[in-house]
């Protein structure tokens, strides 16, 4: 694992965007795995700047998002589809047909998971997967468990994930309890992995991911055995590392 520590969140975002931009410049037809959540928002702003400045084009890029809430329509203002449109896709020249996000309203969620997994294989797999890190060590919505789930699947969200997400919904009843998420196998098949974590709230999860045993109770710890992982941290997220 290559671990880089930056003074602040803005520098983490810039460094992350530079890695993604370099990937696209080297391979304009790159397949990118993308994440939602608070962490990558600044990175997406930096990517949009690079696009506006004519440095990179997304015309030939294909994207796959890690996850989507189950039961949330893509037009819902808290859907991950909407997040991606608002923060990135509406501001760059990626083709609509090149965007892949699990459909949280699929009539048969299991078939949707299989379809998503096949689409990734058909695209010849993900070249560079961007990840955030849950406070409980989750990546995608692979929550602490007794095993690592291989493929894209329907998952129950952990209580602390539900609590963390509650701030985005008006009533408790609206907060999603399930999601469709890429599996750990799906993530590990990516050629390169780029994980960002910022803020003191992530410090314990960062320590477990980097210095702990490989343990499904901290799903991100599996990244220790991926051959090409870059972890970008701010000083707060790195504060418990030896
Ligand atoms: C998002 C995702 C999650 C988040 C993680 C961190 O697509 O899969 O694993 O990356 O929950 O979220 P933030 O960045 O909001 O702290």
- The Cα-based distances of 170 to 37, 39, 75, 165 in angstroms read 18, 22, 16, 11
Helix (H) or strand (E) holding 33: strand 31-34
User: What percent of the chain stands above pLDDT 90?
Assistant: 97
Residue 42: active-site member: no
Mean pLDDT value of segment 221-242: 98
Q: How far is the CA of 206 from the centre of ligand 1 (A)?
A: 13
The predicted-structure confidence for 111-125, as pLDDT tens digits, reads as follows 999 999 999 999 999
Q: Is residue 136 helix, strand or coil?
A: coil
pLDDT for 34: 99
Residue 66 CB less than 6 A away from ligand 1: yes
Q: Which atom of ligand 1 is nearest to the CA of 199?
A: 16
Question: Which residues, other chains included, contact 97 with Cβ-Cβ below 8 Å and sequence gap of 6+?
Answer: none
Q: Is 134 in the pocket of ligand 1 (CB under 6 A)?
A: yes
36 Cβ inside 6 Å of ligand 1: yes
Residue 81 pairs in a beta bridge with: none
Average pLDDT of the chain, as a whole number = 97
The yes-or-no verdict on residue 164 having pLDDT over 90 is: no
Nearest-CA residue for ligand 1 atom 9 is 140
Does residue 216 surpass a pLDDT of 90?
yes
Q: Is 35 in the pocket of ligand 1 (CB under 6 A)?
A: yes
pLDDT computed for residue 151 by the predictor: 98
**pLDDT mean over 73-83:** 95
User: Closest Cα partner for 50 from 23, 31, 32?
Assistant: 23
* Rounded to 5°, angle at Cα 53 from 51 and 54: 65
Q: What pTM, to 2 d.p., does this model score? A: 0.98
Please list the residues that pair with 195 across neighbouring strands. 131, 231
For 126-146, the pLDDT digits (tens) are: 999 999 999 999 999 999 999
Average pLDDT on 69-93 reads 96
Distance 93 CA to ligand 1 centre (A): 24
Distance separating alpha carbons of residues 28 and 116, to the nearest angstrom: 22
136 catalytic residue (yes or no): yes
- For 23-51, the pLDDT digits (tens) are 999 999 999 999 999 999 999 999 999 99
DSSP-assigned letter for residue 189? T
> In sequence order, what are the residues at sequence separation of 6 or more whose Cβ sits closer than 8 angstroms to the Cβ of residue 79?
68, 69, 72, 73, 104
CB contact burial 78-113 (16+ within 10 A = b; e otherwise): ebbbbbbbebbbebbebeeebbbbbbbbbeebeebb
More confident position, 173 or 147: 147
Indicate which residue of 9, 42, 46, 67 is catalytic.
67
Q: Which residue has the tokens 């992982």?
A: 229
Q: Whose CA is nearest to atom 11 of ligand 1?
A: 134
Which DSSP helix (H) or strand (E) runs through 230?
A: strand 229-234
């Amino acid at each position: 694992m290559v671990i880089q520590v930056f003074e602040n969140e803005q520098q983490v975002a810039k460094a992350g965007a530079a890695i993604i931009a370099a990937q696209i410049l080297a391979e304009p037809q790159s397949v990118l795995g993308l994440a939602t959540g608070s962490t990558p928002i600044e990175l997406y702003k930096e990517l949009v700047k690079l696009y506006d400045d004519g440095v990179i084009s997304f015309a030939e890029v294909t994207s796959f998002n890690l996850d989507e809430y189950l039961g949330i329509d893509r037009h819902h203002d808290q859907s991950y589809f909407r997040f991606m449109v608002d923060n990135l896709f509406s501001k760059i020249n990626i083709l609509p047909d090149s965007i892949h996000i699990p459909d949280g309203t699929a009539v048969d969620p299991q078939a949707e998971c299989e379809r998503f997994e096949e689409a990734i294989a058909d695209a010849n797999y993900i070249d560079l997967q961007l990840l955030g890190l849950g406070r409980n060590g989750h990546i995608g919505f692979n929550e602490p468990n007794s095993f690592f789930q291989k493929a894209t699947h329907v998952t129950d969200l952990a209580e602390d994930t539900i609590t963390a997400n509650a701030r985005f919904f008006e009533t408790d009843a609206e907060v999603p309890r399930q999601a469709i998420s890429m599996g750990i196998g799906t993530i590990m098949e990516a050629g390169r992995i780029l994980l960002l974590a910022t803020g003191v709230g992530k410090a314990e999860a960062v320590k477990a991911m980097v210095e702990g045993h490989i343990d499904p109770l901290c799903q991100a710890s599996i990244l220790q055995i991926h051959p090409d992982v870059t972890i970008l941290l701010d000083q707060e997220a790195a504060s418990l590392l030896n």
